[in-house]
Amino acid sequence: MKPKKYLLLPLSLLVLVTTTPINASLLNSKSITQPVLGKDGMVVTQHFLATEIGSEVLLNGGNAFDASIAVAFALAVVLPRAGNIGGGGFMVLYDESSNSFEALDYRERAPEKSYKEMFLNQDGTMNGDISTIGYKSIAVPGTVHGMWAIHKRYGTLSWKSLIDPAINLAREGFRITPMMADTLNENYDKLSKFESTKKIFLSQKPMEFGILLKQPDLANTLEIISIDGVDGFYQGKVAQKITSEMKKNGGLISLKDLKKYRSVWRKPLIGDYKNFKIVTMPPPSSGGIHIIQMLNILNHFSLPDLKHNSPEYSLLLAEIMKYAYADRSKYLADPDFEKVPVEYLISSKYSQEIASRISVGSYTNSDLIAPGIAASHESLDTTHFSIADQYGNLVSNTYTINSTYGSKVVIEGTGILMNNEMDDFSAAPGIPNQFGLLGDESNEIEPFKRPLSSMSPTIIFDMNKPFMVTGSPGGSKIITAVLQNILNVIEFDMEISDAISTPRIHHQWKPDVLSLEYGFDETHAQSISKLGQPIIFEEPGTSLEAIMIRNNIFYGYGDTRRPDSKAIGVNQ
């Protein structure tokens, strides 16, 4: 049930938040890594400052939905490469008071003036520069509307009190971390194309960690939103600044586009795996469908008989991933524009059909797997957070601005770093976007349409009890990362920390290459190659931020693949 309404208390009055285990006997002594424990809640995000803000909300009596709003706005300040108010995303939630699941789609939308061939050259090839960098690549943002929708339906603390911590971070500044310094330096050339971006994020070259980063324009924008609510972003001075910059620089977003934007409440997808209920995001996310689809296929195999991450196990997962990503290429799109055959794709009949074509230890060339034209996806710098509260509510939220630092455009005078989500549409069948996935006509650009996404926020129940909250950034790799996280816990009985830390694989059908994280050794890779599957080694591209619930204790872990991640357990 919902708590009473409160105002946030000063930091000096907060109850202790713990990041250390409560009782060693509650932990798995065989684990290589150990999670953080909490009795009254858990917050896991990709940046420690956002995690601290979320945990403070819970300590002050707020619920998981309040904490989500505070975290989302805080990440817009401290994780500009992915956290945002200039982007959009998806939330899957469980409301204990009504014993119900919901899914909120606050994905970005194509502007009214957008059109199918807008990123094609005269010879029909893709103009990747226009689709990924600059004003034309920007879709209508949804984050502020999404957080407002959550607040209106589930919020208990005041809207302003939830945004105030982010305002303070933007105005007073924070010390940039080594990872943030690295990403800024790696993107220096692209970010410095825009003076409004350069003056905020590139005060020197190279950027060094420890620099105090202040964002006064963003603080002012957040303050307007905190006072005027959703209209503070989609109408008034902020909207006028956005559309003025668009008009001046060839962008397509109008005042009408902003005013007409709406987030959408959708019915979550629910599947069963063993005794577990998998609750996840429906289209325009492709992640939920294909997680359920792959789990359905895996139901036909005895995974415990295969050693975890053995060559045979890795190849089996790869084969199943190929079928899912082939289907993704053909059928997935915005359900408000295209009919997506959800029931068919997650049916037991279809999963049995696919399973009958797969043999453990056998390799199938991707060219032999239909259907034929492949899909689009967002970059590695999406971000995810998971939150659980003392009242029984759960939140799994993934949002993005697409590429690292999105379009690289900060709207002058607002501090808002904008997305480049227009690249998530298919420019034309068979033409890959910036991340190598292909696309069909179902995901082509149309006015007001939402682009296809791989984001996969997921909640799992064990019988009728909350068991797990999970999700990840990582573009097309999100789906396979979340799948392996689920399997590691359910099939191989791993502690949540080990389930996240162990090396992951990825296959997306086209190109026909199995990606292995560097945690795998050469012997493993050679064994897979001998079975016929081409492989490559890649740096980690995902970052699971997850919670497991056991015996009324919350176990949280922030993926160390992104070193700024942090889990905080709440203990009243």
The residues annotated as belonging to the active site are 382
Amino acid at site 424:
D
| Cα torsion angle, 66, 69, 70, 72, sign | positive
First vs last C-alpha separation in the chain: 18
The phi-psi region of residue 361 (left if phi > 0; otherwise alpha if psi is between -120 and 50; otherwise beta) is: left
d(CA 510, CA 475): 15
The angle subtended at Cα 417 by Cα 412 and Cα 422, nearest 5°, is 110
φ, ψ for residue 121, nearest 5 deg = -75, 170
- Report strand pairing: 514-517 vs 535-538: parallel
Q: How many CB atoms lie within 10 A of CB 244?
A: 15
Q: Kindly state the tokens that stand for 106.
A: 């606050």
Total H helices, total E strands in the chain:
19, 20
Task: State the Cα–Cα distance between residues 90 and 193, nearest whole angstrom.
Answer: 30
Contact (CB, 8 A) for 315 and 533: yes
Q: Is the dihedral of CA 288, 294, 300, 304 positive or negative?
A: negative
Residue 481 CA to chain centroid, in angstroms? Answer: 11
**Helix ranges (DSSP H) in 363-495:** 477-490
Strand order, beta sheet including 514-517: 505-506, 514-517, 535-538
Q: Which long-range contacts (CB under 8 A, 24 or more apart) does 12-18 make?
A: 14/56, 14/59, 14/60, 15/59, 15/571, 15/572, 16/571, 17/52, 17/55, 17/56, 17/59, 17/568, 17/569, 17/570, 17/571, 18/568, 18/569, 18/570, 18/571
Strand ranges for 25-119 from DSSP E: 36-38, 41-45, 88-95, 100-106
Rg (CA), the chain: 22
Three-state DSSP string of 96-148? CCCCEEEEEEECCECCCCCCCCCCECCCCCECHHHHHCCHHHCCECCHHHHHH
Least Cα distance to 542 among 572, 514, 565 occurs for 565
Find the helix or strand (DSSP H, E) in which 241 lies: helix 236-249
Query: Cα(511)–Cα(500) distance, rounded to whole angstroms?
Result: 26
The first and second tokens of residue 299, run together, are 């139901």
CB-CB contact of 275 with 262 (8 Å)? no
